[in-house]
Amino acid sequence: MSTVWKNMKRTLAPEQLEEVIPSDAEEILHHGHVPPGWSGAVWLDKVLEWTVGAAILAELVVILLNIMVRLITGDSVLWTQEVSEIALLTIAFIGGAIAYPKGAHMSVQALIMRLPAAWKPYLAALVDWLVFVMSAGAFALFVPTLAQQIEEKTPILQLPVFWVSLPFSCGMVLIAWFALIKLWRQERRPVLAAAGIAAAMVAVVMLAPPLFYYASPNVLLGVVLAVLFLLLFLGLPIAFVLALASGIYLYLGGISDVSAIPIGMASGAKGFVLLAIPFFILAGTVMNSAGLTLPLAKLVDALIGHLRGGLLQVVVVTMYIFSGISGSKVADVAAVGTTMRGMLEERKYPRGEVVAVLSASAIMGETIPPSIVLLILGSITTISTTTLFLAGFVPAAFLALVVMALVFLRARKQGGVASPKATWRARGSATFFALPTLLLPVGMVVGILSGFATPTEVSSVAVAYAFVLAAAYRRGSKKLLGDTLRETTTTAGMVLFIIAAASPLAQTLALAGVSQQIHDLMSGLGDSPLLFMLFTIILLIIMGQLLEGLPAVLIFAPLLLPIAVDFGVNPVQYAMVLIISMGIGSFAPPAGVGFYVACATARETVENSLKHFWPYLVAVFIGLLVLAAVPWFSTFLPALAGLIPF
């Protein structure tokens, strides 16, 4: 989101900035835009950013080396797995720590934006105190585990296991330090008052276990969920809410040692496939920063820009293509919106309509490979990543057609000048210049689906190709590597930290029997698969609002997919419905962060954009209901490839 925020700061006056989106929501768009010394010293800023950047680059070199060795000798380099684990944990926990003082962690701002201004300093201080308590407590609980690992060795490189777990400990210490730095820079009165409130909250939790000795699991779960939503609406970053909720549940119920939370977080960030996440983010950041989406937009404009709706149709198709490059909804909106903004304004398209089409197209793009959410879903469920990647194409194409049809119907009323029909020569020229960029998403998808390479290997090649392409087009500045690495450390760290924090909560909810309770509830309402689909779609849209898309998928996918199978719903179809439902929640007002990013990108007010967005939101929702009712859209390609039965 830093790209969006920088563009807004550069192009808008302060009064216009306030008009586009309230200043209270600045935290939502503030990723990466912080003054020097956010860590307490400028030199420490650079050391921490380059530590994570070096981990990404080192892992990139290691993966590319492994690919070369395998191509030449047919064998893999065994030690890369252990190096990858250390690099991944460094990105997750030190990168996740860096994301905190930069304001890059996802949080729910809907309530905070509506509170009186006098309350906000107290609330900000309370959030920082709670972050300090959580991080300091996690470090203290993890110290015995760290001490035990000093004598243990890794199987291949014979490194102390201590070094593998060290990034988690460093990350928790850094977050606690950053919380104190943030508190030190705030007004004393709110900080002291918030310290008292935080201490009271901790005391209540510490003294509460006797009250729950004889309470039923449902009562305990209800209390913990109430605490979870309270912390969410206070504005505590979602990752910290997930970890705290898990710890409170285990502590109050006496079910397990609370030290299972930091251990679960450290384990949750491991997994070779997760390495693809920072690489996909880096590749998308390079493409965005170097302006490599422009040739794609011009190609699509040459092909379909003459249709009714003109450039708005181009936006939908470009979003479909670019979703396969960036793997991130926010990156999609920022890249396509900023690239095409000048063209759209020149041809007099209403900004509110642009926001609406950008938002609806971004919802559609979540299932287009190589989506980060698909990648993670494949790592936490029994459905293979290849199956999910194949399954995502047709549902996204169907929703794209729904959005394009609505653009077509509204075009005469909304205005805007369609492009003149391009000549075949102009189309050939546009294809020539766009083809190198277009090869990136096509190559990634083909490499993964063919089984020629793993998602991690494909994503590493994509990064190398993106840098080569930026150099060939001469669109990247001399600072391209440093700038994109710095942005990637923040974004990748935030994403991986959320994955780590969601892991113990998912285990806690499974331990609490939530999956069985949902199953019993739905069985009591009837055994209709369509009723189950409708109920969970509404649930997932609400959760997508509160938890954002990624955390909600991490928590609910393992819980709901087995239930869907019991109700006779195809798991691949349900995975697509689940992801799109979360996407709608992420963009639906009032708490959908993606919608605000689209408003900022198009430089339009939220109020005016809403009037244009509602018809598109309804259309996408109806399209989702069709996908829920007709399995064919999700299962056709995987069945054709022999991955699932017809």
The predicted-structure confidence for 270-282, as pLDDT tens digits, reads as follows 877 788 888 888 8
DSSP per-residue codes, 360-400: HHHHHHTTSSS-HHHHHHHHHSSS-HHHHHHHHHHHHHHHH
Query: Is pLDDT at 507 greater than 90 in this prediction?
Result: no
Query: Is pLDDT at 210 greater than 90 in this prediction?
Result: no
Check residue 575 and give its pLDDT: 94
Q: Going by C-beta distance under 8 Å and a sequence separation of 6 or more, which residues neighbour residue 440?
A: 283, 287, 325, 462, 465, 466, 469
d(CA 59, CA 560) in angstroms, rounded, equals 34
Q: Rounded to 5 degrees, what are φ and ψ at 504? A: -65, -30
Per the CB < 8 A criterion, the answer to whether 312 and 350 are in contact is no
Check residue 153 and give its pLDDT: 84
The predicted-structure confidence for 457-466, as pLDDT tens digits, reads as follows 888 888 888 8
Query: Is pLDDT at 567 greater than 60 in this prediction?
Result: yes
Q: Rounded to 5 degrees, what are φ and ψ at 153? A: -120, 150
Check residue 476 and give its pLDDT: 59
Check residue 548 and give its pLDDT: 67
Average pLDDT over residues 118-141: 93
d(CA 597, CA 545) in angstroms, rounded, equals 14
DSSP H helices in 185-259: 188-207, 217-233, 238-253
Half-sphere exposure of 243 (CA within 13 A, CB side): 30
Placement of tokens 């997919």 in the chain: 561
Half-sphere exposure of 644 (CA within 13 A, CB side): 22
Tokens at residue 423, please?
A: 């000549």
Q: Give the Å distances, CA to CA, from 128 to 112, 164, 188.
A: 15, 28, 13
Tokens at residue 408, please?
A: 């077509």
d(CA 252, CA 201) in angstroms, rounded, equals 14
Query: Quick one: angle between helices 385-414 and 351-365, nearest 10?
Result: 160
Using CB atoms within 10 A of its CB, is residue 412 exposed (0-12), middle (13-18) or buried (19+)? exposed
Q: Given phi > 0 = left and psi -120 to 50 = alpha, else beta, which region is 418?
A: beta
DSSP 94: I
Query: Quick one: angle between helices 260-268 and 161-184, nearest 10?
Result: 110
Per the CB < 8 A criterion, the answer to whether 544 and 583 are in contact is yes
d(CA 612, CA 622) in angstroms, rounded, equals 17
Per the CB < 8 A criterion, the answer to whether 570 and 645 are in contact is no
Q: Given phi > 0 = left and psi -120 to 50 = alpha, else beta, which region is 117?
A: alpha
Check residue 250 and give its pLDDT: 86
Q: Give the Å distances, CA to CA, from 624 to 48, 377, 583, 585.
A: 43, 19, 11, 12
Average pLDDT over residues 90-99: 94
Top-confidence range, 223-227, 293-297, 606-610: 223-227
Average pLDDT over residues 633-643: 90
Tokens at residue 323, please?
A: 């979703």
Q: Given phi > 0 = left and psi -120 to 50 = alpha, else beta, which region is 309?
A: left
d(CA 478, CA 457) in angstroms, rounded, equals 26
Per the CB < 8 A criterion, the answer to whether 242 and 501 are in contact is yes
Mean per-residue pLDDT over the chain, rounded: 82
Check residue 137 and give its pLDDT: 93
Cα radius of gyration rounded to whole Å, the chain = 24
Half-sphere exposure of 403 (CA within 13 A, CB side): 36
- Single pTM value for the model: 0.85
Q: Pick from 170, 157, 144: which is nearest to 47 by CA?
A: 170
Placement of tokens 């075009």 in the chain: 411
Task: Mark 53-70 as b/e (b = at least 16 C-beta within 10 Å).
Answer: bebbbebbebbeebbeee
Query: Is pLDDT at 38 greater than 80 in this prediction?
Result: no
d(CA 625, CA 441) in angstroms, rounded, equals 28
Average pLDDT over residues 94-107: 89
What residues does 307 pair with on adjacent strands? none
The region of weakest confidence among 44-48, 197-201, 574-578 is: 44-48
Tokens at residue 441, please?
A: 């998403």
- What pLDDT band is residue 324 in, cutting at 50, 70 and 90? low
What residues does 153 pair with on adjacent strands? 160
Average pLDDT over residues 245-264: 84
Query: Is pLDDT at 21 greater than 50 in this prediction?
Result: no
